[in-house]
């Protein structure tokens, strides 16, 4: 299969799937155009844009590509076809992603045709390390297998809170896993990376919040696996999710990448809270994302022991003062120069300080941040309903939780390490998402992140009654993603291939 025909069709499309409609006759077109071929001159200036990014389509026709060529060869075999929207009025070329196929595999195309699919934001094809990574929303997954459709319905806020807090959240990971011993870990599909995870998590957060994306004035994206050494993730997230007011191809939003190992996302909770509370600020909502395709050297190489725990995924949280589901009651941060985990410039994989990563690194900082915040707010462990620690491995969070006086029922609901692995910047945030999935109104949640290098952020949140109202919009929560019956397990060789991506 050649890449050139696809390139001619999608070169104008950008990263967000869209079409247009003639106001005169109602004819719809996949390609965005200035005039209608039916109405001609009188349609100039009367072509409405149609956004398909949150819509569900139908796979009308499909074919099996068992020997991809050129830039698509890293995909191995895949399914390609035509997806229709709006009862067949709009048809788009489509690659079916999240299908792990081999060259010798028999594919029943008839079982795929007619099924509903959802647009996904993915890498388009592989390029050299010196090139810009091409992305697109012409990749689709089967809606009933992994990504049940959730309607993005904008809801006008009804209540302003005194304190800022979380107004919506989303946690995303792939449906692929590697299972070893008593632990399983999330594995990205070959066309996924930290950027695609950040976009998907942000998309779920918008759906959960019901917030108009144009009202988001700031977006922070924390990651330590940015596929670029020099180029932000946040700008791509802002453009794909249409954050801020749109003016042509430019979004009216402040976007910035942050870095502090695994607390690169959580560190911005306080900044987002302060920003939306500032009386002279015109920013009413801010989005914070932590996303990583956590990297480690292969087994048998120096540093390869980290490969036992690394995962893939992202989490996004929207902050504001309207329709808050969890108010931010306080925070405390601590920092020291404790190099327990690092990756030198130009190196592909990180190194770590062995047992030095426990004490005085992880335990010292998490202990300090949690204890200081509880002391400042005059709280004991018994006053807190849920404790969410950072989870670099299965043992550290359990040990620190018990040391701080928390019971099993207070911290076990947050532990996703045994299902997703260590998702680095998304790790403690995914744990917070798991707790918010099950918490009741007027409960206190203490989250303490940790970033190698080293530092910790502790936050105390109090849930509100609106948590239950917004929960009804959430079909893709953390539990769904850890217990999905369509999870597919891969062997170690496949895991390494998918990890390195296109």
Catalytic residues: 224, 262, 390
SS3 content of the chain, % helix, strand, coil (to 5): 30, 30, 40
**Main-chain phi, psi angles of 377, to 5 degrees:** -95, 5
Cα angle value 324/326/332 (rounded, 5°): 125
Q: 């388009």: which residue's tokens?
A: 124
In this structure, the strands spanning 326-335 and 455-463 are: antiparallel
For residue 10 the two structure tokens come to 């999608």
Q: 């079409």: which residue's tokens?
A: 19
What interhelical angle do 396-403 and 363-376 show, nearest 10? 40
For residue 388 the two structure tokens come to 């969410």
For 101-121, letters b (16+ CB in 10 Å) and e give beeeeebeeeebeeeebbbbb
Whether residue 489 contacts residue 164, with contact meaning beta carbons closer than 8 Å, is answered with no
In this structure, the strands spanning 47-51 and 28-29 are: unpaired
Compute the distance between CA of residue 84 and CA of residue 99 in angstroms, rounded to an integer: 20
Strands of 124-224 (E only): list them.
135-142, 160-172, 176-180, 183-187, 216-222
Cα–Cα separations (whole angstroms), residue 490 to 286, 329, 497: 37, 43, 11
In this structure, the strands spanning 250-252 and 285-293 are: unpaired
């Amino acid at each position: 299969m050649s890449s050139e025909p696809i390139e001619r069709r999608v070169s104008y499309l950008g990263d967000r799937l869209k079409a247009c409609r003639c106001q005169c006759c109602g004819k719809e077109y996949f390609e965005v155009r200035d005039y209608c071929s039916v109405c001609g001159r009188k349609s100039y200036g009367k072509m409405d844009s149609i956004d398909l990014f949150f819509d569900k389509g139908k796979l009308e026709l499909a074919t099996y590509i068992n020997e991809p060529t050129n830039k698509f060869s890293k995909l191995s075999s895949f399914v390609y076809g035509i997806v229709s929207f709006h009862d067949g009025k709009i048809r788009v070329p489509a690659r079916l992603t999240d299908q792990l196929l081999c060259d010798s595999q028999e594919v029943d195309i008839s079982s795929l045709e007619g099924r509903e699919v959802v647009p996904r934001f993915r890498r388009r094809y592989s390029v050299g390390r010196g090139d810009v990574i091409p992305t697109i929303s012409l990749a689709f997954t089967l809606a009933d297998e992994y990504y049940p459709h959730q309607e993005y319905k904008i809801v006008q806020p009804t209540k302003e809170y005194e304190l800022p807090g979380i107004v919506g959240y989303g946690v995303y990971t792939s449906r692929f896993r590697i299972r070893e011993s008593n632990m399983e870990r999330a594995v990205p599909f070959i066309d996924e990376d930290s950027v695609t995870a950040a976009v998907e998590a942000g998309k779920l957060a918008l759906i959960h919040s019901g917030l108009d994306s144009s009202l988001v004035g700031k977006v922070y994206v924390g990651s330590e696996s940015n596929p670029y050494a020099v180029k932000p993730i946040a700008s791509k997230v802002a453009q794909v999710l249409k954050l801020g007011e749109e003016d042509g191809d430019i979004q009216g939003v402040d976007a910035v990448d942050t870095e502090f190992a695994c607390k690169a996302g959580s560190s911005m909770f306080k900044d987002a809270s302060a920003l939306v509370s500032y009386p002279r600020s015109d920013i009413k909502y801010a989005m914070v994302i932590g996303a990583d395709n956590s990297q480690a050297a292969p087994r048998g190489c120096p540093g390869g022991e980290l490969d036992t725990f690394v995962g893939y995924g992202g989490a996004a949280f929207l902050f504001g003062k309207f329709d808050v589901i969890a108010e931010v009651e306080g925070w405390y941060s601590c920092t020291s120069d404790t190099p327990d985990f690092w990756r030198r410039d130009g190196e592909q994989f990180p190194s770590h300080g062995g047992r030095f990563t426990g004490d005085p690194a992880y335990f010292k900082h998490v202990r300090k941040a949690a204890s200081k915040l509880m002391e400042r707010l005059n709280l004991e462990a018994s006053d807190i309903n849920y404790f969410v620690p950072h989870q670099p491995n299965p043992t550290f969070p359990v040990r620190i939780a018990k040391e701080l006086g928390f019971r099993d029922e207070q911290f076990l609901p947050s532990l996703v390490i045994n299902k997703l692995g260590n998702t680095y910047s998304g790790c403690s945030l995914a744990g917070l998402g798991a707790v918010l999935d099950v918490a009741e109104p007027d409960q206190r949640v203490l989250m303490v992140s940790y970033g190698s290098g080293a530092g910790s952020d502790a936050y105390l949140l109090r849930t509100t009654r609106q948590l239950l109202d917004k929960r009804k919009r959430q079909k893709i929560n953390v539990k769904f993603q850890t217990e999905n019956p369509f999870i597919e397990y891969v062997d170690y060789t496949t895991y390494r291939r998918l990890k390195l991506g296109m």
